[in-house]
Chains A and B, each alone.
Chain A
Amino acid sequence: MSPSAAWAVVVLTGVLAYALKLLGHLAPSRWFAHPRLRRINELVPVVLLSALVVAQGLATRTHVVLDHRVAGLAAALVALWRRAPFPVVVLAAAVASALVVRLGG
């Protein structure tokens, strides 16, 4: 990534993130009252986060790649199943993935 592209990401992400927060504090609540908008908005984090799990865990650029990260995701799933707290889930994934890399997987 070029330095100017990196700066564009930093500045635009920062400004837009803050603008959204401020909008919420300043906006009349009726703007967001439509039930359809509300339903879609509740689903946006769900679909985006699910997409990010796949894009980061099972893909490399434009290829589907199953590698050591799958072991990490499997460990995270087990930790989530056992109701482990957030840092434990992340740590379990890192340890499992690093172990597979070390074992030459």
Chain B
Amino acid sequence: MDGSRTVVRDALAVAVPVGLYGVAFGAAGVAAGFSVLQTCLLSLVAFTGASQFAAVGVVAAGGPVASAVGAATLLGVRNALYGIALSPVVEARGWRRLLAAQVTIDESTGVALGQQGRGRTAMRRAFWWTGGAVYVLWNVFTLAGATGARALGDPTAWGLDAAVPAAFLALVWPRLGAARSRAAAALAALLTLGLTPLLPAGLPIVAAVLVAVGAGWRE
């Protein structure tokens, strides 16, 4: 297999399972009270999985608009950092740059940076293939999940209410390597648990960000 085919294989190996997971987002969106159109628009425009789940998660928990948007936006800050790392590699100009920004997510960044040993062309190719494939699949399967959710009936009977927190757990798991991250995660979880009976729904999630500020302040 030549180098460029290896890059495409790596890209699709990541994009297919992530894209399929759009079914869970589609179902979660409709279960939280969004219409099929609104759920699909979140995937088409926001297109950043963790933020989308956070927004519908806060709404499902009964939180206000500001908490839902706040949690989603804070989770999206890392995409800005990805863009800073990627823009010298992707070197997109004009409308291509607008497209590159939209597909700048965890997966396209991860696969692109994973090709560092193969050179800049391989990184660029990995970025576009991963980002493009995830975009198409994520949106197709969001629609499938959103329209299928009605046919499924009660999401609890299918375990969907446990699938979403489990997805968050799986997303945070690989980030717990450093002792500082583990301590911050534990503190944030305890703070959320403690604040749940005291604050309006959704706000404990936003309050947990203070833990990041506190834990990251000192070296």
Interface residues of A (CB under 8 A from B): 1, 5-10, 12-18, 20-27, 29, 32, 35-36, 39-64, 68-69, 71-73, 75-77, 80, 85-87, 89-99, 101-102
Contact = CB atoms under 8 A, between A and B. Distances in A.
A5 B68 CA distance: 10
Contacts of B65: 5, 8-9, 12
Nearest to A5: B65
Interface residues of B, number: 106
Given A13-B52, A51-B208, A45 B189 contact: no
Given A20-B79, A55-B196, A48 B87 contact: no
Given A20-B76, A22-B83, A29-B84, A43 B34 contact: no
A90 B25 CA distance: 12
Interface of B: 17-18, 20-21, 24, 32-35, 38, 41-42, 44-48, 50-55, 57-62, 64-65, 68-69, 71-84, 86-87, 90, 92, 97-98, 100-102, 104, 156-173, 175-176, 180-181, 184-189, 191-193, 196-202, 204-205, 208-209, 211-213, 215-217, 219
Contact of A51 (B33, B44, B162, B189): B189
Nearest to B21: A87
B41 A14 contact: yes
A73 B192 CA distance: 17
B184 A17 contact: no
Contact of A94 (B35, B45, B158): B158
Contacts of A27: 80, 83-84
Contacts of B186: 50
